[in-house]
Structure 1
């Protein structure tokens, strides 16, 4: 199936969001390594230096994972248990693929909704972390919510696209764009 312009845009944005997430995870690893090295210097951590690696890596990891979800979806990399799936006829597999996308889109939208609720509540009450890092919690929570929102948008777009293909009787296209990738099938 030839990708549409929308497929290419969503794929490109999702790939870049995953790359950004990967860079954040790498930065988290470097931050933790720097803190470990500094703590093990003779005399311990130099006076006045605080890296806040625990807080920052927690925030970074949550954002990286949230932004990575959409890439996993566009690459059909989410884990599925497909023992019986492979034995089913193509039409039934396509219907199950669309059903799975509908459920995933609903779950992603719910996660995004509640993530924004958490971020907005934190902003309204001026919530701060229980640490020496004085970063308002609404900031990392909003970044996390934005990642989940992008995931919900991508899941919804792919669901609508699959539903249209299914309604038009394009069973093979539904499977090729949303189905489980079998060994040797490639992306």
Structure 2
């Protein structure tokens, strides 16, 4: 999706140099940015690539680190759930009103919004599943599995 957007932008630049324009590149690139961002947070979650501050965590014993990791993933899941829940109201309103972009493309806004929201929904589902997994591992004191699932990743 990003590469198509880049190619579209390059063609737009070349077309403008020749005195023409395809139009809509800024609108479409905005949609692509929002959609890839919402899906990207899920990918970052599964790759343990989200930014975390390790100042306190590195000084703790494994059981305390596991507890801190559990709190972190629960906080992330709660945030993702709120964004997905509130994001749906944006999509629902657009669907009910049939809103279109106030641009020459007149994009039906439900299309990019639904793709954007589905990324947030997937992030929320992924985070909640990780919470369930971490709680199971916390219950049986499997700190190593928690570290592997939601720990600091490659920064250690």
Shorter-chain TM range is over 0.9
d(CA) in 2 for partners of 1:182, 1:141: 33
- Could you tell me which residue of structure 2 aligns to residue 116 of structure 1? 88
1:143-154 equivalences in 2 (<5 Å): 143-154=115-126
Q: In the alignment, is the contact (CA less than 8 A) between 2:63 and 2:141 conserved in 1? A: no
SS in 2 for 1:169: coil
TM-score using structure 1 length: 0.79
Q: Report the aligned-residue RMSD.
A: 1.3
1:99-114 equivalences in 2 (<5 Å): 99-114=71-86
d(CA) in 1 for partners of 2:5, 2:85: 27
| 1:110-136 CA-partner distances (Å, limit 9, x unpaired) | 111111110110111121112111111
1:54 aligns with 2:26: yes
SS in 2 for 1:105: helix
| 1:58-99 CA-partner distances (Å, limit 9, x unpaired) | 111111111111111111011101122111111111001010
- Could you tell me which residue of structure 1 aligns to residue 9 of structure 2? 32
TM-score using structure 2 length: 0.94
Which one of the candidate residues 147, 150, 154 is aligned to 1:178?
150
- Could you tell me which residue of structure 2 aligns to residue 84 of structure 1? 56
The unaligned stretches of length 5 or more in structure 1 are 1-23
Name the count of aligned residue pairs: 156
The unaligned stretches of length 5 or more in structure 2 are none
SS in 2 for 1:64: helix
SS in 2 for 1:72: helix
d(CA) in 2 for partners of 1:171, 1:88: 12
1:71 aligns with 2:43: yes
Q: In the alignment, is the contact (CA less than 8 A) between 1:112 and 1:145 conserved in 2? A: yes
List 4+ stretches of structure 1 deviating above 4 A. Answer: none
Q: In the alignment, is the contact (CA less than 8 A) between 1:123 and 1:136 conserved in 2? A: no
- Could you tell me which residue of structure 2 aligns to residue 160 of structure 1? 132
